[in-house]
Structure 1
């Protein structure tokens, strides 16, 4: 077979025209709110003013505190809302389009932000966070898929990687705001950071109708003229007419030769079974290797160590996450998904096991500082490996017609894993329960080892491949480690299929004669 050329690097100026750039930027901006929520609440939980408003008074220490049981519910039950949002968002996205899903979820987010800001009891803010996570779930269901469907194949890893970096940028912004407001009095320290929840959905709701719909979604709805028009808008000026027409023909061909699938049972049949396991595994290890420990409880954990200002550390970790995500976004299509995950997992394993080992000795100031350092190193490995690539794999690995159902199923597992980890963390970290402290590094480190084994044997390298090329590779049952080196010539394949059909037709005509 002839060589299917894989790009050695991504030339942004030769790939993104103005229309595509603005569309990607708006979709990416939407994800800021997930970072606002996750890091915003993680930071405010470490504030004395938040504990005074929503916690309980300890007469012995003469301070307000947030009970571990309530923390477990506050950081865990919200994923029930996210699971609902994933199912709802996937349904809206599939039936009414990617833009309609983003519009409706943004309106919902504005309502939830109002409930959060006006909360004065722990019951109200708990319910408000659950409702807000419906928005987060809808976002998870539509953003990576929308991005992967409108960008050129060679830019897919870079583009979908913006999903994770925008989450981290949102976390950095809200941590910096929380660092600045932490010294204020009253409820302002926690209300100002959480007030950022208004900014993103309001902007997206206003601008979403100015970007084009997904051409693949339009084709699935039997609207080929609109699909071709949109594809031209997204490629004009950077691709020749024959290249645009070839890409459109490839999408159409992929849809025609894909059996109409999409039900829950269908994703477990045939070649879809392997693809489903890959996406599910990526989503599980994304959340099970320890990132929620630093994301949700990092500020509280650092505060309990009593070494440095917890908000300084959360800002440092957020800055590391952003810079590493930028690096990985630039390298993912050049180095490939497998290398990114392998390298990142090794760093995670080293950091987590070291963290656990430091927790077994007397906690001197130096030991505590070392534990904090391992948290920073761990986040580097996570942000380089699983964080950006899991979303890319989830968007590109599923079969075209089964993509929504596969992504929805994997996202529900993703959320269930987050829920389990978030609920268990207060009991694992604090007395009078397990009180493991930094020894939880042994637990997450062991899971990280399993993630490395899974990545080596199961995760394919999809860099530079069109979604239609990936369909062919899975149909041919190519091993994961050979995905990037396998040669494909879809034009020859299409001609061979046409010749086969012509021969079959001639045989039928001869029998009739």
Structure 2
């Protein structure tokens, strides 16, 4: 019998059977499609309205309606100031004249800290933080963001004593390693908390405040070390170290009164507390809060049907593997685009031919300009895509880094010295306004809600895995007891930044204006990175 002779009724029955078979396959794979994941149609409609409201909200309207969410996000992000404080402090220690005389070796008419100890001071805290980020995920899943931050602040208060009373480079290095453990908690939790408490329109600006906290730490360090750099006793570095005790206690008090993330509370089944948290975070009516909560519940239910209790192994399974790789690469790339020049700015300026006192002045100017750049990143993140900002920022710095290398390669004079110093400041400014802050936004948005605490922790671990050898390389490049290439390091960091740019061009997706449900769907559908922006997601899709 020919195909044309098959009765229409039989054809329809066969088509229905194929459709039923496909639907069963989707169900077995955990794809929910347009199914109802909440208890009632009313809850689903509230979830739809809640997500639509997030999409329709402008940057200004979101800030006006959610002032407390912005404040609490900034307070959590401000914990990063302690990591940046210590990072920049170590970079300034090696440039302090009395510190060099006390612990350095004589090279000609000057003293210099040996490269191995310079690297150890920079790397010790990162090694401790590497441990901290892996502890942060499980502890946060158990205790929540608030209590995890408070525990880390208590640890920070205690470990500062080791560095403060250190009387040798070995003890100072050990102190930095212990201080690094709470750093890991801060850096793993802050972007995750900030991204969960603010509405969609504010995610970019609020997570970008992490970079601003880095700059604030740098400004305080630059001002303190500039004020003490002429002292010829141990207080030249102990006084700046003691300033770290300013932060933990006030932050502990503030965070104790902070609302817990409603996403974390919903994952723990504490719906009433989650609703109170939503109400505390925004100036919204009861109906608005219920809709926001329904949206959160819907996303969490979809993810719960795709996996149970989150574990580290889940990060490397299925579509979450792609998300983990993106998170790790973006975090690690911060070490390959010239940022390490900013971390050792004072020493870089000395190597560029500036006097010690002028180098400390330039470092203070550099830190203040980074703060300005961080402020400029807020409107940038509101109007331009994450991918756009990352690619243009990295591309710009590639050009400046290569110019820096050229300036250091031609015959040297006072003009070339100033040119290298200015280029170092420009590179830091561009990084602080583009790649630095937008990286935290990308990291916070890329991971699934269920695995966010673990994902940000593993991503930061990748950052430290990349940073530790790069710190050693940067010390070798700049140190007079190492390779002493000074500004020629621009060739090295320009080349590594180019690799980051090419990788991001092909693999970094655009997540701006996407809800967490939509991001989950885009990754589950395995949409290519360059098509994320143009792909349309239906409000009823529950994949």
TM-score (norm. length: structure 1):
0.90
User: Which of 155, 159, 174 is residue 112 of structure 1 equivalent to?
Assistant: 159
Give yes or no for contact 2:385–2:511 (8 Å, CA) kept in 1: yes
Indicate yes or no: 2:299 matched with 1:254: yes
- SS of structure 2 residue aligned to 1:11: helix
Q: CA RMSD in A?
A: 2.2
Give yes or no for contact 1:429–1:435 (8 Å, CA) kept in 2: yes
User: Which of 376, 382, 387 is residue 333 of structure 1 equivalent to?
Assistant: 382
User: Which of 58, 69, 79 is residue 20 of structure 1 equivalent to?
Assistant: 69
- SS of structure 1 residue aligned to 2:411: coil
Query: How many residues in Structure 1 have an aligned counterpart in Structure 2?
Result: 488
- Aligned counterparts of 2:62 and 2:363: Cα–Cα separation in 1: 32
User: Which of 80, 90, 93 is residue 31 of structure 1 equivalent to?
Assistant: 80
- Aligned counterparts of 1:340 and 1:384: Cα–Cα separation in 2: 9
Indicate yes or no: 2:483 matched with 1:438: no
Structure having the higher Rg: 2
Match of 2:16 in 1: none
Match of 2:508 in 1: 459
- Aligned counterparts of 2:70 and 2:321: Cα–Cα separation in 1: 35
- Aligned counterparts of 2:515 and 2:60: Cα–Cα separation in 1: 15
How far off its partner does 1:50 sit?
A: 1.9
- Aligned counterparts of 1:69 and 1:20: Cα–Cα separation in 2: 44
Structure 1 pair 392–83 and aligned structure 2 pair: CA distance change class (3 A): same
Match of 1:241 in 2: 286
- SS of structure 1 residue aligned to 2:119: helix
- Aligned counterparts of 1:87 and 1:129: Cα–Cα separation in 2: 18
Structure 1 pair 89–268 and aligned structure 2 pair: CA distance change class (3 A): closer
Counterparts of residues 411-430 of structure 1 (less than 5 Å)? 411-430=460-479
- Aligned counterparts of 2:452 and 2:70: Cα–Cα separation in 1: 24
- Aligned counterparts of 1:382 and 1:22: Cα–Cα separation in 2: 25
Indicate yes or no: 2:352 matched with 1:305: yes
Match of 1:286 in 2: 334
- Aligned counterparts of 1:409 and 1:13: Cα–Cα separation in 2: 31
- Aligned counterparts of 1:323 and 1:436: Cα–Cα separation in 2: 30
- Aligned counterparts of 2:474 and 2:498: Cα–Cα separation in 1: 20
Match of 1:50 in 2: 99
- Aligned counterparts of 1:476 and 1:143: Cα–Cα separation in 2: 29
- Aligned counterparts of 1:59 and 1:471: Cα–Cα separation in 2: 57
Match of 2:204 in 1: 157
How far off its partner does 1:162 sit?
A: 0.8
Match of 1:507 in 2: none
Match of 1:226 in 2: 273
Counterparts of residues 82-481 of structure 1 (less than 5 Å)? 82-235=129-282, 237=283, 239-258=284-303, 259-260=306-307, 262-295=310-343, 297-308=344-355, 309-431=358-480, 433-481=482-530
Farther off after superposition, 164-173 or 181-190: 181-190
Farther off after superposition, 449-458 or 348-357: 449-458
Give yes or no for contact 2:191–2:440 (8 Å, CA) kept in 1: yes
- Aligned counterparts of 2:62 and 2:414: Cα–Cα separation in 1: 47
TM-score (norm. length: structure 2):
0.85
1:343-362 CA distances to partner (integer Å, 9 max, x unpaired)?
21122101111111122222
How far off its partner does 1:216 sit?
A: 0.9
- Aligned counterparts of 1:104 and 1:78: Cα–Cα separation in 2: 18
- Aligned counterparts of 2:352 and 2:70: Cα–Cα separation in 1: 44
1:452-508 CA distances to partner (integer Å, 9 max, x unpaired)?
222222222222222222112222333323333433342x336xx9xxxxxxxxxxx
Match of 1:11 in 2: 61
Match of 2:89 in 1: 40
Farther off after superposition, 124-133 or 191-200: 191-200
Structure 1 pair 7–448 and aligned structure 2 pair: CA distance change class (3 A): farther
Structure 1 pair 168–416 and aligned structure 2 pair: CA distance change class (3 A): same
- SS of structure 1 residue aligned to 2:541: helix
How far off its partner does 1:7 sit?
A: 5.3
1:153-212 CA distances to partner (integer Å, 9 max, x unpaired)?
111111111111111112112211221222334222222222221111121122221111
Give yes or no for contact 2:299–2:517 (8 Å, CA) kept in 1: yes
Give yes or no for contact 1:102–1:204 (8 Å, CA) kept in 2: no
Match of 1:501 in 2: none
Match of 1:505 in 2: none
- Aligned counterparts of 1:46 and 1:469: Cα–Cα separation in 2: 49
1:375-421 CA distances to partner (integer Å, 9 max, x unpaired)?
11111221122201111111111112122222222111101111111
Structure 1 pair 60–278 and aligned structure 2 pair: CA distance change class (3 A): closer
- Aligned counterparts of 1:217 and 1:16: Cα–Cα separation in 2: 19
- SS of structure 2 residue aligned to 1:58: strand
Runs of 5+ unmatched residues, structure 2: 1-33, 35-47
Match of 1:506 in 2: none
